Structure formats: structure tokens, C-alpha cells
């Protein structure tokens, strides 16, 4: 069954991130060409796998998870990342905070964009386990 964004909880450093507006989590593999000499068609394989996450959050400077993000960024530390739906289905891993930025328009809320880069695998967490 499809889930709505409001059914997903995002936790960083063990604390739920409040006021998260959106997040994106691409997983990619590095493509390596491995075509043999004389082959008519190129062939490719995947070498390294990686993941990242971009989060847009309404700026709430007292949010515990936001403070953990700021601290991890300032100290270059990694932190636990977890997202799951209300049934417990989701993904988790460890990441470093690779960037943070703030943006707003007149009359709109201040939004903080957070860039995370995975450090190691991202793991499926099936609900109820």
C-alpha cells in the first residue's frame, strides 16, 4: 500500500527530525566500462555502491535532531539515519553531514537544506521485526 509523507518518521542521531518537509534518498552505483577488445557493443558493470540524502526542514533551532546535525557537521562526525513508516518499514544507515544551507523568501518560512552522504550500506528494515 502506498504511504503518504506524513506517515514517515525521519530520525537522525537517534532523535526524530521535527518539521521535515521532504527528503530524497538516491542510491547509485559507479559504472565501470568492461568491454573486451573487439566487442561490438560496450559492456558495463557496477563497482562501488553509495547513497545520499537531501532533507528540507523548516528551521527550528531548538529541534534535538537539528542540533545533532549541526554538531555532527561542526565536528565532522557521522550519525545514524533512520526513516520508517507507521508500520515500522523503512531504511537505516550511517552518514556524514556533507552540507547545510538556509533559504527563504519574503513572507515564507525559513527552510534548512541538509545534505547527507552515506558511510557504508543502507539497510532495509521490514516492519514488525
Q: Convert the pLDDT of each residue in 52-66 to its tens digit.
A: 999 898 888 888 888
User: Is the full-model pTM beyond 0.75?
Assistant: yes
Which residues are CB-contacts of 72 (< 8 A; sequence separation ≥ 6)?
13, 78, 79, 96, 97
Please report the domains of the chain, with CATH numbers, ordered by start residue: 11-35+42-125 (2.40.30)
Do 78 and 71 touch, CB atoms closer than 8 A? no
- Whether residue 114 contacts residue 96, with contact meaning beta carbons closer than 8 Å, is answered with no
pLDDT tens column, 19-60? 778 888 999 999 999 999 999 999 999 999 999 999 898 888
Amino acid at each position: 500500500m502506498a504511504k503518504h509523507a506524513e506517515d514517515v518518521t525521519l530520525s537522525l542521531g537517534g532523535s526524530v527530525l521535527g518539521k521535515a518537509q521532504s527528503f530524497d534518498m538516491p542510491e547509485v552505483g559507479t559504472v565501470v566500462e568492461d568491454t573486451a577488445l573487439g566487442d561490438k557493443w560496450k559492456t558495463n558493470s557496477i563497482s562501488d555502491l553509495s547513497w545520499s540524502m537531501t532533507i528540507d526542514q523548516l528551521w527550528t533551532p531548538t529541534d534535538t535532531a537539528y542540533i545533532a546535525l549541526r554538531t555532527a557537521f561542526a565536528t565532522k562526525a557521522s550519525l545514524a539515519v533512520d526513516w520508517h513508516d507507521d508500520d515500522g518499514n523503512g531504511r537505516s544507515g550511517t552518514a556524514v553531514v556533507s552540507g547545510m544551507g538556509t533559504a527563504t523568501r519574503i513572507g515564507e518560512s525559513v527552510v534548512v537544506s541538509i545534505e547527507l552522504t552515506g558511510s557504508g550500506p543502507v539497510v532495509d528494515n521490514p516492519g514488525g521485526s
